[in-house]
Amino acid sequence: MNYEISEKEFTLNIDLHQRLTLLAKEGDLEVADTKQVRANLEKTLAVLADTPYLKFGLEAVPGFNGLASLMVAVEVVADISPSICLSVETSTRVFGKILTQWGTPAIKEKMLPPLLAGKLIGALALSEESMNVENAPLTAGGAVNGDTAEISGKKQYVINAPVADWFAVAGVAEGKSAVFLVKAGTPGLTVGPRKNTPGFQGAAIADITLENCAIPADQILMIPDGQNMLQTLRMWENQVLIGASLGLMKTAFDGARNHAKTHRSGGKPVIAFQEVGFKLSDMLTLFQTSQLFAFRTAWTTENVPADAESLTLCAKVFCSESAEQVAGEAMRILGGAGYETGNPVERASRCVKFLQIAGTSTEIARVKIGDAALGLRN
Ligand X SMILES: Cc1cc2nc3c(=O)[nH]c(=O)nc-3n(C[C@H](O)[C@H](O)[C@H](O)COP(=O)(O)OP(=O)(O)OC[C@H]3O[C@@H](n4cnc5c(N)ncnc54)[C@H](O)[C@@H]3O)c2cc1C
Pairing of strands 141-145, 166-173: parallel
Q: Please say whether the dihedral angle defined by the alpha carbons of residues 316, 16, 206 and 209, taken in this order, is positive or negative.
A: negative
SS3 182: strand
The Cα 313–Cα 232 span in angstroms is 12
Residue 173: C-alpha distances to residues 8, 164, 217, 264, 266 (Å): 44, 23, 10, 63, 68
Nearer to ligand X, 32 or 367 (CB): 367
**Contact assessment for residue 215 and residue 149, using Cβ atoms and an 8 Å cutoff:** yes
- Residue 65 touching another protein (CB under 8 A): yes
Alpha carbon distance, N-terminus to C-terminus of the chain = 26
Which of 205, 210, 283, 348 binds ligand X (CB under 6 A)? It is 205
SS3 223: coil
- Residue 27 touching another protein (CB under 8 A): no
- Residue 132 touching ligand X (CB under 6 A): yes
Q: From ligand X, another protein, none, which one binds at residue 229 (CB under 5 to 8 Å depending on kind)?
A: none
Q: Shortest gap between Cβ of 163 and ligand X (angstroms)?
A: 12
Q: Shortest gap between Cβ of 62 and another protein (angstroms)?
A: 16
Q: Shortest gap between Cβ of 282 and another protein (angstroms)?
A: 7
Beta bridge partners of 39: none
The region of 10-18, 76-84, 158-166, 364-372 touching another protein under the rule CB under 8 A is: 364-372
The Cα 377–Cα 114 span in angstroms is 38
Q: From ligand X, another protein, none, which one binds at residue 158 (CB under 5 to 8 Å depending on kind)?
A: ligand X
The Cα 156–Cα 216 span in angstroms is 24
The region of 28-36, 126-134, 206-214, 304-312 touching ligand X under the rule CB under 6 A is: 126-134
Please report, as residue ranges, which positions from 235 to 254 form the binding site for another protein (by CB under 8 A): none
Nearer to another protein, 227 or 303 (CB): 303
Which of 99, 271, 351, 358 binds another protein (CB under 8 A)? It is 271
Nearer to another protein, 70 or 204 (CB): 70
Amino acid at 238: N
Which of 311, 333, 345, 352 binds another protein (CB under 8 A)? It is 311
Q: From another protein, ligand X, none, which one binds at residue 205 (CB under 5 to 8 Å depending on kind)?
A: ligand X
- Residue 372 touching ligand X (CB under 6 A): no
Residue 208: C-alpha distances to residues 148, 168, 202 (Å): 21, 12, 19
Nearer to another protein, 184 or 284 (CB): 284
The region of 102-110, 177-185, 241-249, 355-363 touching ligand X under the rule CB under 6 A is: 355-363
Which of 81, 127, 177, 238 binds ligand X (CB under 6 A)? It is 127
Q: From ligand X, another protein, none, which one binds at residue 11 (CB under 5 to 8 Å depending on kind)?
A: none
- Residue 378 touching another protein (CB under 8 A): no
**Contact assessment for residue 156 and residue 127, using Cβ atoms and an 8 Å cutoff:** yes
Residues 6+ apart with CB under 8 A from 93: 56, 57, 58, 70, 236, 239, 240
The region of 73-81, 95-103, 109-117, 288-296 touching another protein under the rule CB under 8 A is: 288-296
Beta bridge partners of 189: 210
The Cα 81–Cα 93 span in angstroms is 17
The Cα 194–Cα 33 span in angstroms is 10
Helix (H) or strand (E) holding 254: helix 229-262
x/- map, 148-167, ligand X, by CB under 6 A? ---------xxx--------
**What residue ranges bind ligand X (CB under 6 A)?**
90, 124-127, 130-133, 157-159, 197, 205, 274, 354, 357-359, 361, 363-364, 367
